[in-house]
Amino acid sequence: MKLKRKIRFLIHKLFYDPTFNNCRIDSMVPGAVEIGENFIAAPGSAILAHNAGLVNKTGEYIIGKVKIGNNVFLGANAVVLPGVTIGDNCMIGANSVVAKNIPANMVASGNPAQVLYSIDKYRDFCKLSNRVELVDINTLKNRDKIKERVGNEKAII
């Protein structure tokens, strides 16, 4: 029963949940990928639970369970490798290769991905920056307010 529920969950997430449509999830061993609530994946991202690097030499696959916590954002073209756990409330930067575990509440980026900041420190950094602005998600639902903030009446949103 537990396996059927997990398969139904995966099918729902893969085909009906827009947050998963941007992410390629390992099709060879999808049961080895566990994804928490409120996961958001940017376009081109991938979660791999197997590596075929040894197949030609030894006939063996490397398989490792991948666990993605709750409230995780996976940036564009980021790749999560087999055997990795990403804790709750994490943000993974674009084009990152996550080869090691990322603790909860952290921002990680790079190839290989390294922890750069805590989420709180990153948020404070964004507040102080003159280049970006923090916008509440409820504001994002109101296109007129975004155009007002961006200062461009022709902005495509």
Show which residues are catalytic.
50
Length of the chain: 157
How many helices (H) and strands (E) in the chain?
Answer: 5, 14
Distance CA 39, CA 20 (A): 8
Any alpha helices (H) in the chain, and if so which ranges? 2-16, 55-58, 119-128, 137-140, 143-150
Provide the β-strand partners of residue 24: 46
Other C-beta atoms within 10 Å of 44: how many?
A: 16
